[in-house]
Chains A and B, each alone.
Chain A
């Protein structure tokens, strides 16, 4: 499948570029990479990055530099549902270690792995700014906060139901 944004998304790219002064379209790189990751399977392949470079008329290396710097860009395929559980200090004192262990047990994978059915990937991440509502994880666009084992069970069941 050739990497190509839909007409609607190309318009979105134009709208993003228009936020900056003339000739400063490189500033659109980070937002456009988000759009590309969402559009092309949740990760950035070399082909996707090259496509973004051509859209913004910059060198591919300028895209690789950025894509490898920021932690939200996935440089290899991930499961349909990416569990990004915070394990920094404030979450840790609120029990994030137990939550991570429980998710590992429930999904049968280690941190950094994807389930065999391709549904779930588990990652640990650094502080997401939800310290008062810990333990927590990011799931797609939103946060899941005040996690308990029961809540984790619910979230996994909701994801499975949606995938079917």
Chain B
């Protein structure tokens, strides 16, 4: 069972980075200005690259254990809604630029802390992927923090839009810190530091953390929002319609 736990925890990160990548990719060609269209697309490419590394690793673990022929693509394109283990926050609609960059900020700040732990994992493969990925994530944190500050402390409209985004997204951040039974990283232990970092950026952005502390959960165990059921059929359509061929 230990192996199944590792596989699930790898799939959880793979699904999370893929679904967020899939969402962010929708900005490509539709960004607020060319330079930022390019910027968020770089983040998208980083996330999809990370997803591929984790899927490949998960596939090798599964194939080793069960003598199967999984690949990064079978795992990404042939699993169903209840199998996906991504955070709920990743599958939420992009909303406006405020909602997109705030989600990136919440997630990347968590991911940075998580990779810092994973870099010291006894699993060499995971440690190596984390060491490579964290360089990308450090940039995502920098970029998204700056946007949170810029919009929070920008115009009245941008400040209001950030408040709306916080209101919408906040209850999806609790899930980061509630470990699933398959997780070995002490994610609960990251919460304090994450909160401190968020507070610091919010302070500069003249924003505040909501009082409301109710948190949505379920993503890690495959109980999703209604949105995932639309993301997957679109993303998986070719693999489903033309099974077993090369692309």
Are A and B genuine complex partners?
no
A-binding residues in B (CB < 8 A): none
